[in-house]
Amino acid sequence: MTDLHSARFVGANRVGRRAALRTAAAAGLAQLASPFILRGARGDTPLRIGMIDPLTGAYAAPARNEVMGAQLAVSRLNAAGGALGRPIELLVEDSANDVGTGVQKARKLVERDHVDFLIGDVNSAVAQAIAQVAMENKILHVVSGGHTDTITGKDCKWNVYRVCNTTRMESNAVADILFKKYGKKWHFITPDYTFGHTLQAALEVNLQRLGGIETGAELIPLGTTDFSAYLIKARAANPDVIILLVQGQDMVNCLKQIVQFGINKEVPIAGTQQELESLEGLPSEARIGTWMFEWYWNQPGVPHLAEFIADIRKVNKGRVPTARHWFGFTSVMTMALVAAQEKTTDAVKLARALSDFELPPEVKLQPNKVYYRAGDHQLMLSAFIGQARAEGKDDPDDLFAVDQVVAGDAVAPPVADTGCTLHWPA
């Protein structure tokens, strides 16, 4: 595994054009060598981005991919001269999937390292806690990978933008397709915490609108390893489709057991958010079902995509980028682009400028218009709907066949329904 903290070397280690970076790299090295030095004048200091993600613990795989994506963005930017004429430095901290640690690291980045921006976290709870610290200190914060609706809903903040989806966007993206394809009797397998509850509720709204029936819902405690009790019940309810909302390792275990029990031969399996990380963790026979990806690498004809894939392969043992790589990449790019456009690091000005800010083709790497909605600061990114594949077609990692790409603003609920009211500082 590449040491993620090599980013402290200003991400310049893999890039050729180093002249402009020499000072920054020296500063970075000096800091690494003797961290307890008094920091001098900040005249030529780099633009600092603090990134907090759970590099250890249950979300380590997606978190490390986000960091890898962010590092790629930093090295590309620095190769082109940085932003605002300053090199960019990425400071990566491990939240260890723990809110207390996450808050501590946020304060460290703000108080000690004087970062200009914050990125993070995969864990929604940590992301919201960081957002609080960021707001107290008036720092622009991009949530890279936490999906809880409230981040761009009732707890939205003027300084917080989010790259990944909300649960309601996910539900709206898949509901009609699943209904048409499989029928009207749905049975839910839902993780028993806020994320799962809101996801299920959002799907229920759609199901009702479409005139369908819910045959039941199994609430699964997080970290469940044995799903037989729930699958016995789900099968007995005789639904048209089983909707799997559990995530990560829980999804891996649930899918494996579904396949072992042969349930998928009787009832189709589908769900909302699926990730390449999870599919890769499954034996091939368990890679089944209809899902939504937030971003997928195999999109023929999308400009600049091949370059991105090639760059990630170089640092990812030849593997393709996942949605998490793109989240990290886009988070950094967003900040650099808006800072360059506004020629300032002032958080309030930048946050204002990000309202309805559209991502250029070399960043968005997907069809449709992709922009941060002004009303709730949510990125309107496309939803990729399709089928999981047992074996890769063009590449061992091509485990998903995209049927349809839906624009983000077509599936996002209107701002008025998100519960978000932004309070800007005077």
Partner 1 sequence: MRESGRTHPAVLAAIWVVLLLAPTWLGLVGGYTALGARVLVLGLAAMSLNFLLGFTGVLSFGHAAWFGLGAYGTGLTLKFLAASTPLSLLAGTLLGGALGAALGALIAHRRGIYFAMVTIAFGQVFYYIAYRWNALTGGDDGLRGFSRQPLAIGPWRIDIVANGVAFYYFVLVCFAAAVAIMALLLRSPFGHTLVAIRENERRARFLGIPVEFHIWLAFALSCVFISFAGGLYALLNNFADPNNLHYSLSGDLVIMAVLGGMRSFWGPLLGAALFVVLQDYVSSLTTNWMSFVGLLFVLVVLFFPRGLLGVLRGKSPA
Partner 2 sequence: MLQLLLFNVTNGLIIGAFYVLMALGLSLILNLSGVINFAHGGFLVLGGYLAYTLTPFLGFWGALIVAPLLTAAIGVVIEQTLIRRLYGRDPLYSLLLTFGLAYIFEDVTRYIWGAQGLPVTIPAFLGRPVSPTLFFITYYRLFMVAVAAAVVLFLFLLLRHSRVGVRIRAGTLDLETVSTLGVNVGRLRTFNFALGIFLAGLSGVLAGGQLGLDSTMGAGLLMPSFIAIIIGGVGSLPGTLVGGLLIGVASGVTAVFFPSASEAVMYVLMALVLLARPRGLMGEEGLMT
Alpha helices in 21-138 (DSSP H): 22-33, 60-79, 99-107, 124-136
Looking at 250-360, which runs of residues are DSSP E strands?
269-273, 290-293
Residue 233 binding target from partner 2, partner 1, none, CB below 5 to 8 Å by type: partner 2
Considering only residues 15 to 44 of the shown chain, the ones binding partner 1 according to CB under 8 A are 32, 35-38
Interaction of residue 181 with partner 2, rule CB under 8 A: no
Q: Is the dihedral of CA 247, 253, 256, 262 positive or negative?
A: negative
Residue in 197, 233, 352, 389 binding partner 1, rule: CB under 8 A = 197
Stretch that binds partner 2, among 31-39, 112-120, 248-256, 293-301 (CB under 8 A): 248-256
Candidate ranges 36-44, 100-108, 219-227, 306-314; the one touching partner 2 (CB under 8 A): 219-227
Q: Shortest CA distance to 69 belongs to which of 279, 315, 303, 275?
A: 315
Q: Is 177 helix (H, G, I), strand (E, B) or coil?
A: helix
Q: Which is nearer to partner 1, 34 or 301 (by Cβ)?
A: 34
Our CB check for partner 1 shows the closer of 149 and 240 to be 149
Residue 237 within binding range of partner 2, rule CB under 8 A: no
Burial of 154 (0-12, 13-18, 19+ CB in 10 A): exposed
Q: Are 387 and 290 in contact (CB under 8 A)?
A: yes
- Candidates 16, 35, 43, 262; binder of partner 2 (CB under 8 A) is 262
- Which sign, positive or negative, has the C-alpha torsion 155, 274, 293, 130? positive
Nearest approach, Cβ of residue 107 and partner 1 (Å) = 4
Residues 6+ apart with CB under 8 A from 125: 99, 146, 148
- Closer to partner 2 by CB, 322 or 418: give it: 322
Which residues contact partner 2 by CB under 8 A?
1, 55-58, 60-61, 63-64, 192, 218-221, 223-226, 228-233, 235-236, 249, 252-253, 256, 259-263, 277-278, 280-283, 285-286
Which residues contact partner 1 by CB under 8 A?
1, 3-5, 32, 35-38, 55-56, 64, 91, 93-94, 96-100, 103-104, 107-108, 111-112, 124-125, 128-129, 132, 136, 148, 192-195, 197, 221-222
